[in-house]
Chain A
Amino acid sequence: MLELKQLTLLLHNEPMFPAVNLSVPTGQLISIMGPSGSGKSTLLSAIAGNLSAIFSLQGDILLDDESVLGKRAAQRRIGLLYQDDLLFPHMNVEQNLAFAVPATTTGRQRAQRIVRALEYAGLEGFLKRDIATLSGGQRARISLLRTLLAEPRAVLLDEPFSKLDKALREQFRDWVFDELQRCETTAILVSHDISDCGDSRVYDLKKGALL
């Protein structure tokens, strides 16, 4: 479970939004809505542990009842998916995915996980493909697969559909929600577009309440 307790961010000592009190049960997804500039992405950066030092934070962030505030981003095991896929251009598909799989797995297990993940995404045969030859939708799917293969305790999605065209957007959104459910991953999605939220519960950042 991911809990945000009285969480707010301050910029020049001014709160960016009303304090957030939110609990996301394990395996569930909540969408956070707000207009551009309301602090949605900054909130995700704070949860992930990448908050710029020009902001200060009040409140707490708990993951499975444990505060993550004292931990570095790399230690929090919170995945982050941006609107840019940020696939590593010097690695092919397999290498990008393998990078995320925990080191505790054996070589054979890693290979199996990667192949299975690609099958779920409908990308069989893409193992050795160069990233630069993939379409936008394919890259977006591989980016999510990579995030999930790292076995995060939670996933944060920062407007992941905004760069996709309308037709692909709906398809990809549904697939993302299905994958998160299948992996029983707790997730927070931020967007300024209500259609990105699907059937998930929606929290309005400006109002400070669930809709």
Chain B
Amino acid sequence: MAKALRTVSQVTRSTDTAPIEGPLRTALQFFPGLTATLFILPVLLGLLGTWLPAFGYLPSIGADSFSLQPWRNLLDNPGIGKALGISLLSSWGAMLLSLLISCVLLAGCWQSQLLRWLQRSLPLLLAVPHAAFAIGVVALLAPGGWLLRLLSPWATGLAAPPFFSLMNDPNGFGLLLVLTLKELPFVLFMSFIALGQLQVERTLYVCRSLGYADTSSWWRVLMPQLLPRLRLPLYAVLAYGLSVVDIALIAGPNTPPAFAVMLDRMFNHPDITTRLTGSAAATFLLLLTVGSLLLWFFVERLYLYWMSRRASKGHRRDNRFVRSLQVGAGQVTAVTLLIITAGAFVLLLLWSVSFRWSFPDALPDSYSLRFWQRGWQQLSLPIWYTLATGIASALIGLLLVVACLEHEVTRRRCSARNTGPRLFWLIYIPLITPQIAFLFGVQTVLLQVNAWGNLWSLVWIHLVFVIPYLFLSLSGPYRNFDDRYLQQAEILCGSEWRALWRVKWPMLLRPLLAVTALGFAVSVSQYLATLYIGAGRLPSVTTETVAIATGGDRRLIAVFALFQWLLPLIMYSLALLIPWYIFRHRKAMQLS
């Protein structure tokens, strides 16, 4: 009787049949919250630690009553108007130019061999540290730079470096140029990711069948779909441009400097009460950034509205001249970007081994390795700190991001609701918040808890910037992994952990190593974070490079910049070589 009742109840019950989670999957559910806390908490604490001093409250220096005096001091600062102008010009200019160039490139060169090369080079271009890149470009384009040397005296007639300069010009055009060149690979990279979600080829086929030329289809049909998907990356570019200090120090004007540099000087002024003015300036920078993001949002909406009206008119004009111009401009840009990056690297190499190099010689007169010896002596400790921080933040970041993505994939399997990445926008918070707007606050908080100048504090703050890039780069390959392999592995070996460890993660080894290298590169690039949280006790290759970039011996600067460049390059090489070696007998796992 009991058995019959049991059978009846079994037969009639309706079961929610979400795949049952094992203990590993159950443990994973804590990781998204933990990860979000880890990288949002410093930003929130830091902002609070900056906003209070902005209104006069910083008890540690005796300022214990609220006031607007810091804001008055800020407005009274000479050159603040010009400094703001420089920052706005360089940030907006770099964002708009990099977007325009990316669009022209994609529209003009889609499916071309050149674009494919560029796409493959993007991870390497992205890995180039900002400071090293800026130093290389400045060395290329400066009055005594390589470009002029190659053209002098036969083309320019110059026997001595000219007085005019594109770099460090008082209006910030040099800064604009360097920022554009640095942001272009990032915007392109995000564009390729976004285009992967659109059916580009089918769209072009349909548009052709409707009588539209490809370039016309790009601007009227594909760009309007691409632009909203690029919103967050473009916000990150804008925010970075407004708040960058290291590139502004190297390529930007000096008197007055860009606003973020002015701000940084306030935080490091011998008179500690200037910290209050600095906090007001940092808060103002945050407001300026928010305002810029909102403005871009409206500009984007306006553009989409205008384009939709234009596209609805049905004009199928195919202006061959414009089309050729686009193709030509795209090709020239792609080649220029690759040449400048390669040229900057080669130039740094030449300077690093030169002993004497007079203008207008195209190559050094004599060579020496003494500056490499000096560089190694001065950088051995910073290199150690850079490696320790970089490897720790890359590996911890990888662990957290993989756990979050694995949890997301499992939830998708187990939930009927659309479990798209609800918290995706959180990833962008550290990227769109000006670093300098919260780093001072973090420094203040860490000082209170005696954790300032501590290696783990430094790793933590680096994680704030590493995790977003890891997530952005790994989410595509991880989410697109054919989960049937994992299901099959779990069925075969009876263990979800074994299936992950022996099947899924080895199959994803290439992207996992690539993002680890990217995380390391992001960590190496951190200038302000290392400066503010390292307390001078944890110098990195980047902080030392920027320190001498504005006044040191060019040859030593080149050595420092090359060390900064080489460290991520080594990691990227390992990320390529390790899977190549492991899978050398596995054709299906090799790069096509």
Contacts and interface: CB of A to CB of B under 8 A. Distances in A.
A17 interface: no
Contacts of B413: 50, 52-53
Given A5-B11, A52-B413, A130-B587, A90 B494 contact: no
A121 interface: no
Interface in B533-583: 582-583
Interface string B494-530: 1110010011001101000000000000000000000
A67 B10 CA distance: 9
A69 B11 CA distance: 12
A130 B18 contact: no
A136 interface: no
A194 interface: no
Nearest to B482: A86
B492 A53 contact: no
Interface string B6-42: 0100111111111111100000000000000000000
B579 to A, nearest CB: 9
Contacts of A82: 484, 488
B11 A59 contact: yes
B22 A56 contact: no
A58 interface: yes
Contacts of A67: 10
Contacts of A173: none
Number of contact residues on B: which range applies?
A: 35 or more
Given A57-B15, A90-B506, A90-B583, A73 B491 contact: yes
Contacts of B489: 88, 99
A79 B482 CA distance: 18
A53 B13 CA distance: 16
B384 interface: no
B17 A57 contact: yes
A60 to B, nearest CB: 4
Interface string A51-70: 11111111110000001011
A74 B494 contact: yes
B585 A130 contact: yes
Interface size class of A (residues with CB under 8 A): 35 or more
B313 interface: no
B586 interface: yes
B424 interface: no
A88 B485 contact: yes
Contacts of A59: 10-11
Given A5-B10, A80-B487, A56 B587 contact: no
A10 interface: yes
Contacts of B11: 5-6, 59-60
Given A60-B10, A86-B484, A100 B493 contact: yes
A78 B586 contact: no
B378 interface: no
A150 B506 contact: no
A132 B588 contact: yes
A132 B585 CA distance: 10
Nearest to B9: A60
Given A53-B414, A56-B15, A133 B587 contact: yes
Interface in A151-183: 152
A51 B19 CA distance: 6
B415 interface: yes
B12 A58 contact: yes
Contact of B492 (A51, A52, A146): A146
7 contacts: A54-B416, A58-B13, A59-B10, A71-B20, A72-B19, A72-B21, A150-B491
The 7 A-B pairs of least Cβ separation, nearest first, read A132-B587, A89-B588, A53-B18, A132-B588, A74-B490, A60-B10, A53-B416
Given A56-B14, A77-B494, A150-B493, 16 more contacts: A5-B11, A46-B17, A51-B18, A57-B17, A58-B13, A71-B20, A74-B491, A74-B493, A78-B491, A89-B586, A90-B583, A130-B585, A130-B587, A132-B586, A132-B587, A152-B491
